[in-house]
């Protein structure tokens, strides 16, 4: 029997409550060496919904697993039809005040690095450099046979050509970039093979049920070791891929701070969880630190 990855987590009743005091985060930023770990919550204000929390999409959508994707042609057809439609929204998404504030903190030398669980590229679009994309990027495609990487926009153009007139109206879009479509709407969507070898193409993202590449994990572990503090932004830390870095920091005595509206699986390892909306919280922090982070701030 195949195990499905765990996608939900129920908060324990004895978790410490969230606060609205940004003081500890402000102090940490002022001290510098802050490692940011961001999740879907930082991108919701850019129109990309979170899986969890209020209005989360998990209730109506189960993310594609690696096993499903590699094991079935029909699953790949369904994935690429949904993902192709979702890409039209993802491709248009713009960074928000939260992404801009993180980029501003980095420009002012307050951060030691940025690790993101998001695959939307919005930190980089806001001007952050050296971002570690823990779960990969939707903007790249990899061939499972020959290993060639190619830009998503090239695949998108080929899929447009192969599927003229594919214009279904999706019920919603998910943080890993795919739209909600019924099997009927997916219909006979045509998937295109690797232009190099004819192999199966996969987005360069880590699917549920797939391991993050070990070298990437090791790089993140090194970033956590070097950080003066770890600041989690907009992640429920439900999946181990992010939670393990919080545990690593806590075990080493490195302060962990979390800004997330809802309780997270990392709360018991954190000095505090600030239950504020991210755009407002990060903008307010930038103001406290007298760092311009508005839309007018120049990008690098």
Please state the closest distance from residue 96 (CB atom) to Zn ion, in A: 36
* Binders in 121-160 for Zn ion, by CB under 5 A: 143, 145-146
Please state the closest distance from residue 66 (CB atom) to Zn ion, in A: 18
Has 38 been labeled as part of a binding site?
no
Backbone angles phi, psi at 88, to 5 degrees: -60, -35
Tell me, what DSSP letter sits at residue 114? E
243 near Zn ion, judged by CB under 5 A? no
Has 220 been labeled as part of a binding site?
no
Closest alpha carbon to 205 in 178, 180, 235, 170: 178
Strands of 149-151's sheet, edge to edge?
149-151, 136-143, 201-205
For Zn ion, the closer CB: 200 or 217: 200
- The answer for 263, left when phi > 0, alpha when psi is -120 to 50, beta otherwise, is beta
Residue 282's Cβ-side half-sphere holds a number of Cα atoms within 13 Å equal to 29
Among 199, 209, 277, 292, binds Zn ion (CB under 5 A): 199
Q: Binding marks (x or -) toward Zn ion, 76..95, rule CB under 5 A?
A: --------------------
For Zn ion, the closer CB: 109 or 149: 149
Please state the closest distance from residue 147 (CB atom) to Zn ion, in A: 7
Has 58 been labeled as part of a binding site?
yes
135 carries an active-site annotation: yes
For Zn ion, the closer CB: 67 or 145: 145
Catalytic residue among 99, 135, 219, 269: 135
For Zn ion, the closer CB: 53 or 199: 199
Has 48 been labeled as part of a binding site?
yes
* Binders in 169-198 for Zn ion, by CB under 5 A: 194, 196-197
Q: Are 89 and 179 in contact (CB under 8 A)?
A: yes
Has 40 been labeled as part of a binding site?
yes
For Zn ion, the closer CB: 15 or 197: 197
Distance set, CA 47 to CA 50, 91, 177, 221 (Å):
9, 12, 11, 31
CA distance 201 to 150: 10
Neighbour-count burial of 93, counting CB atoms closer than 10 A to its CB (0-12 exposed, 13-18 middle, 19+ buried): middle
Has 197 been labeled as part of a binding site?
yes
Please provide the distance, in angstroms rounded to a whole number, between the alpha carbons at the two ends of the chain: 51
Q: Which residues pair with 3 in a beta bridge?
A: none
The binding site for Zn(2+) comprises 143, 146, 194, 197
The binding site for NAD(+) comprises 39-59, 117-120, 234-236, 278
Query: Which residues are part of the catalytic machinery?
Result: 135
- Binding interface with Zn ion (CB under 5 A): 143, 145-146, 194, 196-197, 199
């Amino acid at each position: 029997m195949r195990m499905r990855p765990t996608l939900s987590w129920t908060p324990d009743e004895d978790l410490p409550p969230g606060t609205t005091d940004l003081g500890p985060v402000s102090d940490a930023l002022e001290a510098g060496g802050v490692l940011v770990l961001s999740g879907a919550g930082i991108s919701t204000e850019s129109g990309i919904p979170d899986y969890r929390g209020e209005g989360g999409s998990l209730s109506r959508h189960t993310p594609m697993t690696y096993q499903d994707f590699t094991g079935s042609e029909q699953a790949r057809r369904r994935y690429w039809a949904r993902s192709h439609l979702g890409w039209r929204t993802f491709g248009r998404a713009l960074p928000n005040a939260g992404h801009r504030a993180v980029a501003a903190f980095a420009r002012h030398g307050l951060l030691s690095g940025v690790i993101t669980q998001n695959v939307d590229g919005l930190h980089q679009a806001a001007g952050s450099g050296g971002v570690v994309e823990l779960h990969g990027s939707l903007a790249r495609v990899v061939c499972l046979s020959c290993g060639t990487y190619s830009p998503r926009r090239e695949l998108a153009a080929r899929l447009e050509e192969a599927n003229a007139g594919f214009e279904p109206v999706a019920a919603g879009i998910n943080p890993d970039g795919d739209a909600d479509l019924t099997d009927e709407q997916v219909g006979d969507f045509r998937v295109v093979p690797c232009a190099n070898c004819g192999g199966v193409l996969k987005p360069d993202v880590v699917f549920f049920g797939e391991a993050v590449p070990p070298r990437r994990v090791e790089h993140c572990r090194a970033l956590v070791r070097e950080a003066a503090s770890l600041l989690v932004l907009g992640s429920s830390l439900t999946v181990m891929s992010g939670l393990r870095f919080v545990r690593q920091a806590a075990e080493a005595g490195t302060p962990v701070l979390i800004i997330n509206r809802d309780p997270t699986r990392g709360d018991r390892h954190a000095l505090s969880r600030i239950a504020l909306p991210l755009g407002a919280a990060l903008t307010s922090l930038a103001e406290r630190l007298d760092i311009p982070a508005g839309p007018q701030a120049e990008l690098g």
